[in-house]
Amino acid sequence: MGRAPCCDKNGLKKGPWTPEEDDKLSHYIQLHGPGNWRTLPKNAGLQRCGKSCRLRWTNYLRPDIKRGRFSFEEEETIIQLHSILGNKWSAIAARLPGRTDNEIKNYWNTHIRKRLLRMGIDPVTHSPRLDLLDISSLLSSSVCSSSQLNFSNLLGIQTLVNPELLRLASTLLSLKHENPHFPQNPQIWNSQVQNQINTPPLQSNQFHATPTQEAAAMQANTEGLPSNLTNPSYQNFTPSNFDESLASLPNYGFINPSETSTFQSLENQNNDLYYNNNQGFGFDSVISTPISSPTQLNSSSTFINTGNEDERESYCSSMLKFEIPESFNISEFM
DNA sequence: AAACCGATCAACCGCGACAAT
DNA sequence: CATTGTCGCGGTTGATCGGTT
């Protein structure tokens, strides 16, 4: 089926909007509402296509748009929602009052994505970027082919690999060795470890919404779920385990600093860790928070609300012990 | 002072979904 | 059921700005 042109482009203006055009559009919508976007420009006396008008209104002129820097709470919400919704910017924006999908998308691409990469986290899968080192396949072959833990291969690449990675590998191999149910798929392996790294116990006070609000929020967010979530943890998504999936979402260090949830602690845990995903960080709080109550987002989390980008990253990194040093050239492994 | 470069973000483009006919 | 029209989404572009050389 052919797509109809959104408008007759002949003679229509493109590019940046002038204050006069903004005034015309705002004034018209305040008086009449947007109505039909196709006919709006003509009625409002604008030499623009309806699409351009809609975009200008929804992304800039709408009176309820919040301007200024994203707060820690908003940033955390974006990351968590992105980990389950993917690039569903409109669905994410629906959970962030006053923020537009375009603004969130830009902020993700220019800030969050880069910071996650610097931290060694894949912004698509939200997992540690072990894949960059091909360490997953290395470990997989080692694990699957022998009951004896053979570190010779690992040691051979030690000069290239962050010691933290090797220690992680050691931990994972130990867990695998002791636990017959350990996932064979390295990707699932990674994501499950990531979940545990970032999932301190759920706190009961993270629920603020009424059942009705929760139901509405759940519906709003499940509607936006992609069918092909890249994170293997969520590929088995079903309505019945949705809570589980949400509860096990990554947190990237935006957690209460009093909680210890690091690789160090991982080493001391028994294998039950891998089967208690219900005790994840309270993503429920994000999902259940009413749209009109942005300040309630993750109220249980403790934030150091500085406005400094570096401090945010530093705080993030300090909580998530898995960190690729600045000197480590990731691009060499791409 | 000028040139260069990277970061940012407003705006555009193409497409899919869906309603209307 | 097929076609047409509209809307909204996600990806991309390009203008602008500030910092650096």
Residue carrying structure tokens 């694990």: A143
Instruction: Please enumerate in sequence order all residues whose Cβ is within 8 A of that of A143, keeping only pairs 6 or more positions apart, or say none.
Output: A173, A176, A177, A184
CA-to-CA distance for A300 and A207, rounded, in angstroms? 10
pLDDT for res A185: 38
Percent of chain A with pLDDT over 90: 1
Nucleotide C3's nearest residue (CA vs C1') is A1
Q: State whether CATH 1.10.10 applies to domain A19-61.
A: yes
pLDDT for res A73: 86
CA-to-CA distance for A198 and A322, rounded, in angstroms? 11
Global pTM reads 0.57
pLDDT of A200 strictly over 60 = no
pLDDT of A19 strictly over 50 = yes
- Chain B nucleotides near the protein (CB, 7 A): 7-18
| A62 contact to strand B (CB, 7 A limit) | no
- Exposure b/e, A166-194, CB count within 10 A at least 16 = b: bbbbebbbebbeeeeebbeebbbbbbbbb
Distance A61 CA to C20 C1' (A): 35
| A162 contact to strand C (CB, 7 A limit) | no
Q: Which nucleotide is nearest to A15 (CA to C1')?
A: B11
Domain boundaries of chain A, sorted by first residue: 19-61, 72-323
What are the angstrom distances between the C-alpha of A323 and each of A53, A118, A143, A162, A317?
44, 8, 24, 9, 7
Supply A118's token pair. Answer: 């610097």
Q: What is the pLDDT of residues A212-261, one digit of tens each?
A: 343 334 343 433 333 333 343 343 334 334 444 444 455 554 433 333 33
Q: Considering Cα of A28, then A32, then A34, then A35, what sign does the dihedral take?
A: negative
In this structure, what DSSP letter does residue A49 have?
-
Specify the higher pLDDT residue, A15 or A170: A15
Pick the closest to residue A126 from A139, A117, A136 (CA basis).
Answer: A117
Q: What is the pLDDT of residues A299-317, one digit of tens each?
A: 333 333 444 555 655 555 5
Contact A333, A132 (CB under 8 A): yes
Q: What is the pLDDT of residues A73-126, one digit of tens each?
A: 888 889 888 888 888 898 888 888 888 888 898 899 888 888 888 888 888 888
